[in-house]
Amino acid sequence: MASANALAHPNIAFVKYWGNRDNELRLPSNGSISMNLDGLYTRTIVSFQPSLPYDELIVNGHEIAGKNLDRVSQVLELVRRMAGSKMHAEVMSENNFPTGAGIASSAAAFAALALAATRATGLELSESELSRLARRGSGSAARSIPGGFVEWQMGTAEKDCFAFSIAPPDHWDMVDCIALVNPEHKKTGSSEGHAIAGTSPLQGARVADAPRRLAICREAILKKDFEAFARIIEHDSDMMHAVMMTSTPPLMYWQAITVEIFHAVRTWRAAGLAAAYTVDAGPNVHVVCERASAGEVERRLRELPGVGDVLSAGTGGPAQIV
Ligand code: PMV
């Protein structure tokens, strides 16, 4: 039996990935930028066993079958091919945060899986190779392999489509205060969403404009210019949701409280509390701020009627073997 145990953080995208130019290989339509979330993690143990007739997946103590197991098996199959092995694996995974609520649980899950599965077979992949492998399970997982502030370049082909750090975790002490408004499992997963992104007449414009947004966001992070950072991440999130809302069928992830939080955050910022919002494929709002403002942002979010809990996470490191 060969096994390995790995840990990876979810990430929050500041310039979002939405839509693929190749769904099978998960080659994105545009590049993206994110930050890993410290304190939140998926821990995964992969053990390859000669006696197993098929792959097994256990998440938070529950055995999983169907589509989610198939997705994990696809990544394990790539690892088996690389290692020249035919052994099936038992995958045991635990999250310390709610899954399927727009907190990119799949990003942490597939990053931890890619690292644990390759190490269990004795393979030592480079960071970019691991990022490419994680990408095959879930696009955003490519960004949970490197640490800190991360850019996923769209590349020209499969080989150069991977993520890398643009700044280490301690470069800018940022906190993501996640206002949980509805922790229920979302109705439309991101894989289905990516597949219909191109049906929105706005997607072409969003993709064409992505290099501009990436340049502004990258520079704002490198210069620690919060005002520029706030404007671009809100703009980018709104653009992605405009595409979602205008695709066929339409995807509306926002609830009334989601929009109320947008207004509150902009009012706070205008009055001097530096915070900015961004939303993934769910109704929860990520309110990002510098560490010094995090206590106040959290307190104000909790006061809003309709906000359940608030999870706070600083800037996280890379996926690692534990
Ligand atoms: O990796 P996926 O297929 O779960 O897609 C993630 C999509 C968003 O979270 C909405 C945006 C992003 O860049 O993380």
Return the amino acid letter for 226: F
At 215-242, the pLDDT tens digits run 999 999 999 999 999 999 999 999 999 9
- What percentage of the chain reaches a pLDDT higher than 70? 97
Distance (angstroms) between ligand 1 centre and the Cα of 285 equals 14
Determine, yes or no, domain membership for 190.
Answer: yes
Ligand 1 contacts CB of residue 281 (under 6 A)? yes
Ligand 1 contacts CB of residue 218 (under 6 A)? no
Q: 299 and 262 share a domain?
A: yes
Alpha-carbon torsion angle 301, 151, 232, 11, nearest 10 = -10
Residue after which a domain boundary falls, among 114, 138, 169: 169
Determine the Cα–Cα distance for residues 96 and 105; give it in Å rounded to an integer. 10
Residue after which a domain boundary falls, among 133, 148, 169: 169
Determine the Cα–Cα distance for residues 140 and 238; give it in Å rounded to an integer. 18
Pocket test for ligand 1, best of 17, 23, 113, 278 (most atoms within 8 A of CB): 17
Q: 34 and 118 share a domain?
A: yes
Ligand 1 contacts CB of residue 280 (under 6 A)? yes
Q: 145 and 183 share a domain?
A: no
Q: 162 and 226 share a domain?
A: no
Confidence band, pLDDT 50/70/90 cuts, at residue 187: confident
Handedness of CA 90, 92, 93, 99 (dihedral sign): positive
Q: 38 and 129 share a domain?
A: yes
Count of domains in the chain? 2
Distance (angstroms) between ligand 1 centre and the Cα of 188 equals 12
Determine, yes or no, domain membership for 33.
Answer: yes
- Domain CATH code at residue 26: 3.30.230.10
Q: 36 and 66 share a domain?
A: yes
Domain of residue 158 covers 2-169
Ligand 1 contacts CB of residue 5 (under 6 A)? no
Q: 221 and 258 share a domain?
A: yes
Q: 147 and 176 share a domain?
A: no
Determine the Cα–Cα distance for residues 193 and 203; give it in Å rounded to an integer. 12
The Cα-based distances of 71 to 241, 261, 276 in angstroms read 26, 34, 34
Q: 19 and 90 share a domain?
A: yes
* Cβ contact 306:180 at 8 Å: no
* Cβ contact 286:277 at 8 Å: yes
Backbone φ and ψ for 36, nearest 5 degrees, come out as -75, 150
Handedness of CA 306, 309, 236, 297 (dihedral sign): positive
Residue after which a domain boundary falls, among 127, 148, 169: 169
Ligand 1 contacts CB of residue 138 (under 6 A)? yes
* Cβ contact 17:152 at 8 Å: yes
| Residue whose CA is at the smallest distance from ligand 1 atom 9 | 280
Determine, yes or no, domain membership for 286.
Answer: yes
Q: 92 and 183 share a domain?
A: no
Ligand 1 contacts CB of residue 165 (under 6 A)? no
Determine, yes or no, domain membership for 39.
Answer: yes
Cross-strand partners of 26: none
Q: 272 and 203 share a domain?
A: yes
Pocket test for ligand 1, best of 15, 236, 280, 286 (most atoms within 8 A of CB): 280
Confidence band, pLDDT 50/70/90 cuts, at residue 107: very high
Q: 63 and 155 share a domain?
A: yes
Determine, yes or no, domain membership for 244.
Answer: yes
Determine, yes or no, domain membership for 165.
Answer: yes
Determine, yes or no, domain membership for 318.
Answer: no
Determine, yes or no, domain membership for 236.
Answer: yes
At 64-105, the pLDDT tens digits run 999 999 999 999 999 999 999 999 999 999 999 876 545 768
Ligand 1 contacts CB of residue 144 (under 6 A)? no
Confidence band, pLDDT 50/70/90 cuts, at residue 188: confident
Look at 75 and 190; give whichever has higher pLDDT.
75
Say which DSSP state 37 is in. Answer: B
Cα-to-chain-centroid distance, residue 289: 18
Give the number of the atom of ligand 1 that is nearest the alpha carbon of residue 107.
Answer: 1
